[in-house]
Amino acid sequence: MWFSKKQVPAIRSLVGEGMQVRGELTFSDGLRIDGEVYGDVIAIDGSRSMLVISEKARVHGKVKAGHVIINGEVRGPVISDELLELQPKARVTGDVRYEVLEMHPGALLDGEL
């Protein structure tokens, strides 16, 4: 194959807006967070997972997944096994580790890269 694209995992789980989760949250494939999570958010299979933290979402804890897209607020370390995307309204307070970083203008990061 000349131009093979990696398959993007399907978003199969959702923490909806107005919802609040306390405790560790583990998932496989894809997860979208629109609400609040007080605890770690960990992908079971890191390299083949996607986590989307939307503009209205808040996570207070460690975040770990293969492909991480943040447009909301994270207070804790972020670990991305592949691609970390910080969208324009992203607010991250904590250290980040990644393979590839895509940071849009307007995103704020208070931590070590």
Indicate whether 2 pLDDT > 50: no
pLDDT tens digit sequence for 19-54? 999 999 999 999 999 999 999 999 998 678 999 999
Computed over every residue of the chain, the mean pLDDT equals 92
Contacts of 86 (CB under 8 A, 6+ apart): 70, 92, 101, 102, 103, 104, 107, 109
DSSP codes joined into one string, 30-53: EEEE-SEEES-EEESSGGG-EEEE
Copy the structure tokens of residue 42. 């960990």
Copy the structure tokens of residue 31. 């997860």
The residue-averaged pLDDT of 61-77 equals: 97
The residue-averaged pLDDT of 66-93 equals: 97
d(CA 8, CA 60): 26
